[in-house]
Structure 1
Amino acid sequence: MSNQKKAVKSVSWVTFSTILQTALQFLQISILARLLSPADFGIVAISNTVIIFFSLFANLGFSNAIISKQETNKKTLSSIFFLGIFLGTIIFLLVYISSPLIVSFYHEIRLAKVIQLASCIFLITSFGTVFSAMLQKELNFKSIAITDIAGYIIGVSLTIFLAYHGFKELSLVYGGLATDFCKTVLQVILGRKFFWPNLHFSFSEIKAHLRFGVFNFGEGIVGFIQSNWDNIIIGRLLGAKVLGYYTLAYQLAIFPVIKINPIILQVAFPLIARMKENPSELKKYYLKILDLISYFNLPLLAGLYITAESVVPLIYGPGWAPTFPLIKIFVFVSVFSCLSHPLFTLVYTKGRPNLLFYLNLITLIVKVPLVYYLGKYWNVTGIATAFLLATMVNTILNFFIVQYLIGNYLKDFLANFYKPVLFCVLMVLVVYFYKGFIGYSGLLNTTAEIVIGGFIYLLLTIFFKYSIVEIKNFKRTI
């Protein structure tokens, strides 16, 4: 099977998985927002920040190294497997023991049990890391979709059940652990045909992967700080309740990006890794990735921007009005972020993870003072604005790095990019006038806004971007 056919088949499976997960996540959010308080979400957000930080030490970039180097040596893979389990155990103990210090920093006693339970994730996921990487390397996204769907169904079901029975913030933790346990078991079962560990370990055999992971790890540390600095400041100075509003606003605004981009990028990375010796193909596929990402993300983000006051009460229920201005800021954060995300496919393919490290380091240097000064004068809105400004800087630098890696591409990119931007502006204007003359509250008005906006974007697409014939031809290739 050709790479193109594998890619199309892989995208189909990832798309199906993402759609189902998205539906389940919307169901979970809409129910939990009515059962849990903003403070409950804030506590879990703090815990997640801690877990994400320590997970950088547990992986050390081995998954990306396996895919980038197209690793097949079983002794090398076995060494990576056992090192991962060792690191996972050490990180589990470290997080568990350090929980009192974290509680003291945030002055939130409920954090102790949440963090101690959440630390078990390192014991669980360390067994599936290599198996998951091998499935991606072999473009076996059917198996990946099965693991994701099964894990998510179990996790969401358990989370809602426990929240309904009064487990509060712990319902999210138990649900997350159930998801990861199910996924890990299935990763091992479905990935064993590509890899099964031997009783073998040698540092010398994984030196190349460790060297690859040094900058990958450094980039992860710096990237974590610059991505979570706002959460750390809000949780420490403004409290769990404000962090809860901030977190849910961000999650809703970033939702299209974290759901649509993986559909494309999960498949794109191992595919692009096979083209590292063909610069023209590399550039062509990178431009296709940017075109797809911008075309599918922008209308959803523009729609959320103009319908936030209608959509939030329907999803979260009453009492979440403080998220409205934050969502509008985070929509623009998501626009810039979605254009930056594909860079990792290039730097890992080219063996230059150091470029991501430098990019995130500069972004961190910009973001830290912005968060401090804007947060000092405008509280949580100022912090969200600082996040937006730092993301804009990151995206501009991102473009320069891509130019350095694949040559001049901006002219071709802008030739594709201006169309979805223009379509979105027209879509927003029409919906804006509808809201002003008809209204925006209630299910009927919200549905009308979504239908009108979607129809305008689709109509403009058919007339000015993709013809009906092109769309039919694309469907036939699938």
Structure 2
Amino acid sequence: MSNTQKAMNGGKWITVSTVIATLFQFIQVAVLARVLAPSDFGIVSVSNLILAFFQVFANLGFANSIIYKQESDRNVLSTLYYLNLLVGFVIFIVIHLCSPSIIAFYHEPKLAQVLNLSSYYFVIVYFGQIYMFLLEKELRFKSVAIIDITGSVLGTAVTVTLAYSGYHELSLIIGSLVSQTTRSLLQIAFGLQFFIPKLYFNIRTIKEHLRFGLYNMGDGFLGYVQSNTDNIFLGGMLGVKMLGYYTVAYQLCVFPIMKLNPIILQVAYPILARMKENTSELRKSYLKILDFISYCNLPLLAGLFITADTVVPLIYGPGWEKSIELIRIFVFVGIFICLSHPLYTVAFTKGKPGLLFYLNLGTLIVKIPLVYLFGTYWGVMGIAVAFLLTTFLNMIVNFGMVNYLIGDFFSEFLKNIAKPVTFCLIMVAIISVYKMLVGFSGPVNAFAEIAIGGAIYAVLTLAYKLSFDQIKAYRQGLL
């Protein structure tokens, strides 16, 4: 099977798994929003912030270095494996030691039990993580898909069951741990054919991996801070209830983007890493990725923008109206993020992870004062606007870095994106007319708005972007 065929087959499996995982996450949030209070979501968001922070230091960029170097040396992999287990255990201890300070910052006693339980994630995850890296290196995306689907289904089932049994915010934490335990066990089961750890540990054998991961870890730390500054400040300044509204809006707009976009990037990176010296081909691939992402993401975000006041009460029930105005800001955040994503694949393919470090450093320098200033004067909406502005600036610099790595691409990009933007504007205009003439409340109007928007975008795409023959050829390539 050629690399192209492997990529398309991998794309099919990763698409299936990611769509299912995202769907179950969406269902989980929709169900829990009717059972849990906004403050419960806020408490779990704080816990997730802490986990994400320590995760930056835990994998040291080994995923990218193993794929980039096509690593197969058993001594090297064994050292990486034991180092990850050691770091995970240290993080587990550190979280327990830091819990009192975190609780004091957020003024929320319920965080004690949530943080202590969440810390077990680091005891669990690193038993199987290196096997996931190896499965991706070997392009075994069917196995990756099975692992993700199984973990998502079991995690969601446990979370919803416990929420209805009165476990409140702990239901989300326990469900997450069940999901990760399932994933780790399956990662080991599928990955043992590629690597069985031996009793060997020599830090000198992984110097190149550590060097490669240094910038990646620094970038991850800055990326964490600049991506979560709004959540950190919001929880501390306005309390966990406001953070709950903010989190639900974020999960509806940005979370699917963060999950679905990496489908193509996850499949593309191992392939692109094998042709890293061919800049012309990389530029073509980057533009194709950007074009595909634009056509997939823009109609979903535009549709959410115009239907937010219809779908939020319908999905989440009463009490979540505060999230509607946040959603309309996060829609544009999602657009800027999805257009920025492909840089990460290009940067690692060209062996330039340091660029990501400097990009996040610059974004962080701008974002922290904006979030603090806007949040002080305009509350949760001000923080959302600060997030929007910094995401836009990040995208502009992002494009400049891509131009440096692969050459001029912007004129071709503008030509490609003009069509989906135009299609979205037409779709939004027609749905707006429908809402003015017919109304926007209730399930019937929600279904009608979604159907009208989907039909308009599909017809315009078939008329001006893709022919039926092209769709048929693409479908045959996936099967």
With the shorter chain as reference, the TM-score category is over 0.9
How much has 1:215 moved relative to structure 2? 0.6
- Which residue of 2 is the match for residue 369 of structure 1? 369
- Which residue of 1 is the match for residue 203 of structure 2? 203
Matches within 5 A, 1:7-406: 7-406=7-406
Bigger mean CA offset, 180-189 vs 11-20: 11-20
- Which residue of 1 is the match for residue 444 of structure 2? 444
Bigger mean CA offset, 289-298 vs 17-26: 17-26
User: What secondary structure sits across from 1:440 in the alignment?
Assistant: coil
Distance 1:162 1:84 in 2: 31
Identity %: 55
Distance 2:156 2:330 in 1: 25
TM-score scaled by structure 1? 0.99
Alignment length (residue pairs)? 478
How much has 1:26 moved relative to structure 2? 2.4
> Is contact 1:26–1:315 with CA below 8 Å preserved after alignment?
no
Distance 2:19 2:226 in 1: 30
> Is contact 1:329–1:385 with CA below 8 Å preserved after alignment?
yes
How much has 1:287 moved relative to structure 2? 1.0
Distance 2:268 2:238 in 1: 40
> Is contact 1:17–1:148 with CA below 8 Å preserved after alignment?
yes
Distance 2:102 2:26 in 1: 30
How much has 1:381 moved relative to structure 2? 0.3
Distance 1:199 1:210 in 2: 20
How much has 1:339 moved relative to structure 2? 0.7
Distance 1:256 1:123 in 2: 27
**CA RMSD, Structure 1 to Structure 2 (Å):** 0.9
> Is contact 1:256–1:297 with CA below 8 Å preserved after alignment?
no
How much has 1:124 moved relative to structure 2? 0.4
User: What secondary structure sits across from 1:167 in the alignment?
Assistant: coil
How much has 1:259 moved relative to structure 2? 3.2
> Is contact 1:160–1:171 with CA below 8 Å preserved after alignment?
yes
> Is contact 1:256–1:301 with CA below 8 Å preserved after alignment?
no
- Which residue of 2 is the match for residue 434 of structure 1? 434
How much has 1:2 moved relative to structure 2? 0.4
User: What secondary structure sits across from 1:35 in the alignment?
Assistant: coil
How much has 1:30 moved relative to structure 2? 1.6
Unaligned runs of 5+ in 2: none
Distance 1:303 1:138 in 2: 38
How much has 1:351 moved relative to structure 2? 1.4
Distance 1:392 1:417 in 2: 16
Encode CA deviations 1:420-464: one digit per residue, 9 max, x unaligned.
011001000000110111011110000000000000000100111
> Is contact 1:249–1:330 with CA below 8 Å preserved after alignment?
yes
Letter in 2 for 1:244: G
How much has 1:284 moved relative to structure 2? 1.2
Encode CA deviations 1:217-257: one digit per residue, 9 max, x unaligned.
11111111111111111110100000000110111011331
How much has 1:395 moved relative to structure 2? 0.2
TM-score scaled by structure 2? 0.99
Encode CA deviations 1:60-84: one digit per residue, 9 max, x unaligned.
1111111111111111111100100
